[in-house]
């Protein structure tokens, strides 16, 4: 398995000044780390981040991509547009997009397909709500969500990244225990192994209130290949603590 992959998701946060300060602090330390790392920034800041990250070990990511190639889709951003800014990763199917924007499994699969066609690695998010977990449906939910992406992108499914983000643990301060995370990651790993002979190429990240205090324990699990980090990625010291944990 490749080095751990740590991805900061800034969500709808940032400003030109704050972005420059944050990235400057992170880049000052990145050179001594062995993990892979990226930041997924709001679309208006892609040009700024591209310039600041040029030639560095910190990759640029986007937070969403259109399911359409081009056309009359006001407000949408296509995969080819993202490629123009040297975007390496793109989050698709984040629980906030599924919940607040009504994105279906089919839509998420199509977005992953657009990203892959443009040479961008989609970070495919899957995860269950608290009600679904309490009902014992965790495995069924995440397998259904991933199955849609496998169905649409089966020929190149080994080129994606998967992020398990239990909805009940996003921005709530609650975190899956290392054992809970490992269980679901193992389920996803088995599903990928059934779909491709190259499942070992797929990094499976944990994304649900990962922070500086719990990162090391989560990253120690055999099927946790990194993290998709929200609020903690907006604080250079916390983000760097997690990157160092992932580099051990």
Q: Is 69 one of the annotated active-site residues of the chain?
A: no
Q: Is 165 one of the annotated active-site residues of the chain?
A: yes
Q: State the catalytic residue, choosing from 94, 96, 103, 128.
A: 94
Q: At what angle do helices 236-246 and 16-30 cross, to 10 degrees?
A: 30
Q: Using alpha carbons, select from 114, 142, 149 the residue that is nearest to residue 207.
A: 142
Q: State the catalytic residue, choosing from 128, 165, 185, 238.
A: 165
Angle, CA 49 vertex, CA 45 and CA 54 arms, to 5°: 155
Active centre residues (catalytic): 94, 165
């Amino acid at each position: 398995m490749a080095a751990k992959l740590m991805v900061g998701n800034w969500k709808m946060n940032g400003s030109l000044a704050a972005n420059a300060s944050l990235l400057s602090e992170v880049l000052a330390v990145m050179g001594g780390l062995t993990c892979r790392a990226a930041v997924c920034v709001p679309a208006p800041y892609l040009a700024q981040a591209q310039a600041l990250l040029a030639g560095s070990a910190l990759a640029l990511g986007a937070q969403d991509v259109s399911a359409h190639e081009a056309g009359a889709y006001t407000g949408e951003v296509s995969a080819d547009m993202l490629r123009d800014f040297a975007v390496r990763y793109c989050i698709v199917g984040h629980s906030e997009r599924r919940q607040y924007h009504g994105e279906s499994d089919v839509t998420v699969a199509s977005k992953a397909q657009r990203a892959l066609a443009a040479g961008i690695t989609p970070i495919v998010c899957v995860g269950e709500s608290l009600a679904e977990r309490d009902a014992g449906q965790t495995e069924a939910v995440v397998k259904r969500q991933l199955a849609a992406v496998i169905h649409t992108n089966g020929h190149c499914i080994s080129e994606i990244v998967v992020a398990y983000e239990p909805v009940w643990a996003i921005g709530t301060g609650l975190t899956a225990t290392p054992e809970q995370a490992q269980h679901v990651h193992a389920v996803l790993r088995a599903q990928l192994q059934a779909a491709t002979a190259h499942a070992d190429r797929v990094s499976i990240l944990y994304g649900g209130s990962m922070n500086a205090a719990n990162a090391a324990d989560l990253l120690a699990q055999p099927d946790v290949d990194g993290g998709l980090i929200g609020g903690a990625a907006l604080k250079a010291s916390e983000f760097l603590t997690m990157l160092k944990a992932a580099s051990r």
